[in-house]
Structure 1
Amino acid sequence: MPVSRRCILLPAAIAAVALTFTAAGCQKSADEAKPTPEAPASTPAEAPESTPSQSPAAAADATVLFEVTGSGTAITIDTDPTTDRVYDAPLPWQRTITVGPDVQLLQVVAVGADNAGCRITLNGQVVTEQPAGSAHCTYTRP
């Protein structure tokens, strides 16, 4: 027994997919037989640029000033992110470093100086400060 084939009319949204898989013997209408223009391929110059996840201000390096205030001598002074320990440091003391946008924790600790205080300045703005008698300052960048 011969098998008959039928063309089924589909909604416009499905028609394009159905035309790709039409069975043998189905005929396309005159409109469907016309080639559809393809969108031009984008060239590398036309490709959209990726947007950085951070704003330019957040992506910039920052200047950090670590300070230990007071008088006398500190047995040790430690700063973080640089782990350079300073021994027998005369007070007042300071160190300036540049940090990248990935550095979040800033810290200065002075040991052995009874009247020492501390301060951390980020890009010219004091972000944390402790009075004399407490020489441990920490700041976490947002």
Structure 2
Amino acid sequence: MERGKAALVFPRFKGCHTYDKIALELEHIHSSYGISHKITQTVTDNGSNFVKAFKMYQPIEEEDSEDDEEVVIFTDISDVLPHSGEAAAAANATLPPHQRCASHTLNLISCTDVDKWLLSKPQIKAVYRSATTKCTGLLNKASQSIVAAETTSSQKS
């Protein structure tokens, strides 16, 4: 049986988009639609605030320990101190597994990583920029003139 897939938009909210506020908003959306227990994965961009929200609010998985040795358990101080308002609600939020958007990842690679590589290779950077400028000029010309568009499209084959 194939599972159904759906997409929900993230509504706009005011204020700082910190990881805890994002977690709280996602939890609110999931519960308002009654789908908290049905979500298997959430896809977002690679923004550090989203990544941290999903990292901090993943359900804690119990590990099977076969060792009888004493285990040291570290506790975050914010978990021990009393929470109030939104902080308390965010502390109780549980988010599904996170998947980074492949399209956004590829875009980051094509923009950021290529630029970093080009900066390290000045000779290649000059050739790349020259070729890119010529292609941009050709694309601009084709988008401004029907004759130029027909000429460039007939040259493809």
Task: Identify the structure with the greater strand proportion.
Answer: 1
Q: TM-score, normalised by structure 1?
A: 0.18
For the pair shown, the structure with the greater C-alpha radius of gyration is: 1
Structure number with higher relative contact order (C-alpha < 8 Å, ≥ 6 residues apart): 2
Q: TM-score, normalised by structure 2?
A: 0.17
